[in-house]
Amino acid sequence: MSLKITENNGVYFLRGNLNALTSNFLLKHIELLKELGHGITINIDFVNEIDAFGMLTLRNLYKSTLRRNQNFWITGNGCKEIYQDFMSEYLLERKIL
């Protein structure tokens, strides 16, 4: 299944699979939005699958928005697990775990 991105009131809704085949599409789309200086809110309620490539893409987007002092939010079902994954990587990078 492909990935569809729609916008409603400044929130970008992902629908489909975020995987090796679709991650680059999301990355390019969000990078364009970041160039406009916007904070980014992504809703993942309608994502059926996120594989390792999808998680890597979300992590990279998160890191790049932090470097630009922009806001990046992920909302919806599964966002707690994504947050925990981000925090685990953060702690491992700093050798806290």
Confidence band for 21, pLDDT divided at 50, 70 and 90? very high
Cβ neighbourhood burial of 86 (10 Å; 0-12, 13-18, 19+):
middle
β-sheet with 3-8: strand ranges across: 3-8, 11-18, 40-50, 72-75
> In this predicted structure, what is the pLDDT of residue 96?
58
Q: Using one digit for the tens of pLDDT, what is the confidence trace for 43-90?
A: 999 999 899 899 999 988 888 888 888 888 999 887 777 877 777 776
pLDDT of residue 95: 65
Q: Indicate whether 17 pLDDT > 70.
A: yes
3-state SS, 14-49, equals EEEEECCCCHHHHHHHHHHHHHCCCCEEEEEEEEEE
- Judged against a pLDDT cut of 80, whether residue 15 lies above it is answered with yes
